[in-house]
């Protein structure tokens, strides 16, 4: 009788464990609950990027986490929606982390540029930091709200380099490019780089090319071990634009000590090849960064950024919109957008 009770308890334990495992699996994979009429500043989201889709007359916002929000007026939003379908057998693994997603419309398709991280694969260890497999990658969809799925090429950038924050640009040669960051964790001085893309963006062509280094910036700063000030090592969040005079510019983000800040650089040649000349001062208030630009359906240029602060040891990031003037020779950030 004792043996029967023992084995019965074992069976119940196994069933309970199996049920718990099923519940956890479901919890990790379930679709997030969709909420409606959420004000922009009530959404917690890093690296917000907004597509103004003229086909649907809707605004679509995504960012770190990879979920999608929808709005008709930029004020009230519905979401989040799950819109990505990655290949579990690819280098990304079954559940990649997704950072800094952007949506771009190009030649009647919609493209999803994002940073994917497979935490189970380690590619390097530098100064005690274990570097995970991380890279900028592109998914595609026929519609703005997805689903976004993989294309032909498995890899856009080298497997042994951690890259992030890929964005899109068509240069004066008519060719499409990805501009991305090569992470400071490995090279010690983060860089901004470009790589040519295939005409349908389904893969990359050739090798990446250096555009500039984090240390080129006069506005990003940190202190070394001796307390001496030096240029910061982080490059983050590139986004390209043209001014009203046709000047090519790039906004990007780094740090002033422990403060998150955003600056701008301009290309002297008017192409991605530069040389890139960094402006002296930051362009947005402190603790705002990782910006991108878009035009509203009414023709107003806005910059989408997130605010950045620590609360109880965790970063708290919320989307905001700034009005921007691009009519002249330089980008000018005017004021927080209110409609």
Least confident of 25-34, 89-98, 234-243: 25-34
Residue 20 above 80 pLDDT?
Answer: no
Q: Which fold has domain 36-336?
A: Tachylectin-2; Chain A (2.115.10)
Model confidence at 27: pLDDT above 60: no
Is pLDDT above 50 for 19? no
pLDDT above 50: residue 332: yes
> Residues 192-202: pLDDT tens digits?
999 999 999 99
Q: What is the pLDDT of residue 150?
A: 98
Is-contact 321 304, C-beta < 8 A?
yes
- Give the length of the chain: 339
How do the domains of the chain map onto residue ranges?
1-30, 36-336
Q: Taking Cα atoms as reference points, which of 333, 255, 233, 335 lies closest to residue 293? A: 333
Asked whether residue 5 carries a pLDDT value surpassing 80, the answer given is no
Residue 40 has pLDDT above 90, yes or no: yes
pLDDT on residue 9: 39
Summary mean pLDDT of the chain = 91
Quote the radius of gyration of the chain (alpha carbons, Å).
22
pLDDT of residue 338: 83
Nearest to 239 by CA among 228, 254, 249: 249
Provide the pLDDT for residue 265. Answer: 98
Asked whether 100 and 114 are in contact (CB, 8 A), the reply is yes
Question: Is pLDDT at 73 greater than 90 in this prediction?
Answer: yes
CA-wise closest residue to 53 among 39, 67, 36, 74: 74
Q: What is the 3-state secondary structure (H, E, C) of 253-291?
A: EEEECCEEEEEEEEECCCCCCCCEEECCCCCCCCCEEEE
């Amino acid at each position: 009788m004792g043996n029967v009770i023992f084995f019965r308890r074992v069976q119940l334990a196994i069933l309970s464990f199996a049920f718990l495992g099923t519940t956890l699996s479901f919890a990790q994979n379930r679709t997030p609950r969709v909420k409606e009429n959420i004000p922009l500043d009530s959404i917690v989201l890093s690296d917000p990027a907004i597509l103004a889709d003229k086909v649907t007359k809707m605004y679509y916002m995504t960012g770190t986490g990879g979920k999608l929000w929808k709005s008709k007026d930029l004020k009230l939003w519905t979401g989040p929606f799950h819109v990505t379908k990655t290949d579990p057998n690819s280098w990304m693994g079954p559940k990649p982390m997704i950072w800094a997603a952007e949506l771009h419309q190009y030649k009647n398709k919609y493209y999803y540029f994002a940073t994917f991280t497979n935490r189970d694969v380690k590619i390097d260890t530098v100064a005690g930091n274990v570097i995970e497999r991380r890279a900028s990658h592109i998914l595609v969809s026929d519609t703005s709200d997805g689903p976004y799925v993989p294309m032909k090429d498995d890899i856009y950038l080298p497997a042994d380099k951690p890259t992030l924050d890929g964005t899109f640009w068509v240069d004066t040669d008519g060719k499409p490019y990805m501009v991305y960051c090569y992470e400071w964790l490995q090279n010690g001085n983060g860089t901004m780089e470009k790589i040519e893309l295939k005409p349908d963006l389904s893969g990359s062509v050739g090798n990446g090319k250096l555009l500039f280094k984090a240390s080129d910036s006069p506005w990003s700063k940190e202190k070394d071990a001796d307390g001496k000030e030096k240029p910061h090592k982080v490059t983050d969040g590139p986004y390209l634009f043209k001014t009203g005079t046709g000047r090519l510019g790039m906004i990007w983000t780094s740090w002033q000590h422990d403060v998150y800040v955003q600056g701008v650089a301009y290309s002297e040649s008017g192409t991605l090849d530069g040389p890139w000349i960094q402006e002296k001062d930051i362009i947005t208030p402190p603790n705002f960064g990782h910006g991108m630009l878009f035009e509203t359906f009414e023709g107003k240029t806005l910059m989408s950024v997130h605010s950045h602060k620590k609360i109880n040891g965790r970063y708290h990031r919320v989307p905001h919109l700034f009005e921007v003037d691009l009519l002249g020779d330089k980008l000018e950030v005017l004021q927080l957008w209110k409609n």
